[in-house]
Amino acid sequence: MTEIIVIGGGWAGCGAALAARKAGANVTILEKTDMLLGCGLVGGIIRNNGRFTAAEEAIALGAGELFHIADSVARHKNVDFPGHKHATLYDVTKIEPKVREFLEGMGINIKFKSRAMDVKVRDNTIQGIVLANEEIIEGDEFIETTGSSGPMGNCLKHGNGCSMCIQRCPAYGPRVSISKKAGVEDLVGKRSVDTYGAMSGSCKLNKDTLGENIKRQLDEKGVVVVKIPEEYIKREKISMKVCQQYALEEYAANIILLDTGYAKFMTPFFPLEDLRKIKGFESARFEDPYAASKGNSIRYMSMAPRDDYMQVLGLNNLFCAGEKSGPFVGHTEAICTGILAGHNSVRKALNMELVKLPRTLAIGDIIAYVNEQLKAEHGLYKRFTFAGSTYFERMKQLGLYETSPEVIKERVAKLGLTGFFNENLAIKQEKVVGMYNNRF
C-alpha cells in the first residue's frame, strides 16, 4: 500500500493526513511535540467571513470532518465581532483529544515527540525523513506542514524574542525546513524592505483572572469589547500582526476578547502592566504563551515554492500545505490546503493525474491566487486569508463569498465534485486494473 509521511501535526498536517487516508494510503504523521494542532491550540476562530464559505466547500467536497469536529466543541456559534460576522468559536481546551481520537480511529499512525532533523535524498526524490533519534522514516510521498517559522533563533533574530511560545521549541527542539534540507531554497516573507517575516500576537488570558462582569459577558455572548484609554493605544503595533484580518483600527482602540475556553485576547502586543490599569483587568494574567505581551512566534520565514497541485517545485515527491505553502493565515486555510496536498500525494504515488481545484471555488481560487501573488512585485509583503483584508474583498468581488450551505452544495454539485475527496483512489485503481486484465 502507498505510504504517505506527513511532517508536522498542525491543522494543515491533520487535513493532509485525513485526505490521504481517505484516498487509500497508509499515513504516518511525524509531530515533534506531544499534541496535535500547533497554533490551533491557541486560535479557536473558524467560519468568520469567507471562512464560512471555504468550510462549507470542504464539507461538500467530502473532506469536512475536521470542521465538524470543531463545530462539535464550539462554545459559541454565529458570533459577530469587529470586522467579522457569523464566527464559530471552538473550545481550544477540548478540541485536540477529539481530533487525535478521530485520526487514530481512521487508522492514521501518529508518532509524537518525533522531530525531523534531516532528509535522505536521491535524484531529487526524498527517500526518508531522519528523526532526532536517528530513526529513518521511509515513504512513497511526503507532505511538509512544518509551518513557516524556520529554526528557533528566527524568533529572536527577526521578531520580539522567543519566550515560552506555543511552538515550544525550547522543550521539543527546533524545526527544520524539509524542503530546504532537500535542496530547495525557501521563500522568505517581509514586512518592510529590511525586516523579515511577521510576528504573531495571538494569545489568551486566564478567564478567572478577569472581572466578574467581563467573565459573565464572555460566557453569555462569546465577545467582550472594552474601550482602551487613549494613553495606552499603540496603533503602530497593528502593522506587526500576522493576521491582517484583525489589523483594523478597532483592534488598536479596544480590548476585544473572544471566549474560546480561555479569553482569546485580540489586541496585539499589550503590556501586562498597562492592561492591569484598566477596570476589570487589574488581576489579569496571560495563559500560554505567557510572554504574549511581546508576541509569540515569527512567521513566513520558511515557505516552499510550489505549484497549484501543492507539490514543491524541484522535488519529485514532496508536497506542502498551510503556511509552508505560502503566506496563508488561519486554521481554515491550513486545513483546505492540507486536504488538496494529501489527496494529490496519493494520486502521485499511484501514477494518477494530479488535480487542481477550480477557481470558481474559493479554495481553488486562493491556492492559485496566492501562488500568482508570490511571483508578483511585493508579493512577499502580503498575507492572505478568507477572513479579511485583500483576499476577502476579492472573494466578494468575484461572487465567491456565500453563506448559504445549500447554495455552496449546489455550486460544488454543478462542478461534478460532490464528495470528491471521499473516493478511495487505491480501490479505484485496483478496479481499473482488474477490468483491464479481465479483457485478456
The full set of domains in the chain, from first to last, is 3-77+86-197+298-426 (3.50.50.60), 201-288 (no CATH)
Neighbours of 94 (CB within 10 A): 14
What is the pairing mode between strands 45-46 and 198-199? unpaired
Q: C-alpha grid cell for residue 23?
A: 484516498
Chain CA centroid to CA 317, Å: 22
Determine the residue type at 126: I
User: According to the model, what pLDDT value does residue 166 have?
Assistant: 76
Determine the residue type at 366: I
The SS3 assignment for 130 reads strand
Q: Where are the beta strands (DSSP E) in 331-416?
A: none
User: According to the model, what pLDDT value does residue 90 have?
Assistant: 97
Neighbours of 427 (CB within 10 A): 11
Which residue's entry shows cell 522568505? Answer: 188
The SS3 assignment for 75 reads strand
Backbone torsions φ then ψ of 204, nearest 5 degrees:
-135, 150
User: According to the model, what pLDDT value does residue 119 have?
Assistant: 97
Name the nearest CA neighbour of 168 among 75, 35, 72, 43: 35
Quote the CA–CA distance of 344 and 311 in Å, as a whole number: 8
Contact between 365 and 330 (Cβ < 8 Å): no
Global pTM value: 0.94
Dihedral of alpha carbons 69, 102, 30, 143, sign: negative
C-alpha torsion 217→218→220→221, nearest 10: 90
Q: Where are the beta strands (DSSP E) in 181-250?
A: 190-192, 195-196, 198-199, 203-205, 223-227
Instruction: List the Cα angle 73/78/80 in 5-degree steps.
Output: 120
User: According to the model, what pLDDT value does residue 198 have?
Assistant: 78
Dihedral of alpha carbons 148, 152, 157, 160, sign: positive
Determine the residue type at 1: M
Name the nearest CA neighbour of 198 among 241, 145, 237: 241
Q: C-alpha grid cell for residue 195?
A: 525586516
- Tens of pLDDT, residues 261-298: 999 988 878 889 999 999 999 999 988 777 777 777 78
Quote the CA–CA distance of 284 and 314 in Å, as a whole number: 49
Backbone torsions φ then ψ of 228, nearest 5 degrees:
-90, 130
Quote the CA–CA distance of 249 and 251 in Å, as a whole number: 5
Chain CA centroid to CA 193, Å: 26
Q: C-alpha grid cell for residue 211?
A: 472581572
Weakly modelled stretches of the chain, pLDDT under 70: 163-164, 236-244, 432-440
Contact between 356 and 337 (Cβ < 8 Å): no
Residue 206, CB-side half-sphere exposure with 13 Å CA sphere = 12
Helices (H), 31-94: 50-60, 65-72
Quote the CA–CA distance of 432 and 353 in Å, as a whole number: 15
User: According to the model, what pLDDT value does residue 27 have?
Assistant: 98
User: According to the model, what pLDDT value does residue 429 have?
Assistant: 73
Name the nearest CA neighbour of 317 among 183, 176, 119, 142: 142
User: According to the model, what pLDDT value does residue 133 have?
Assistant: 95
Contact between 83 and 69 (Cβ < 8 Å): no
Name the nearest CA neighbour of 121 among 316, 331, 393: 316
C-alpha torsion 150→154→160→163, nearest 10: 80
Backbone torsions φ then ψ of 95, nearest 5 degrees:
-75, -35
Contact between 401 and 50 (Cβ < 8 Å): yes
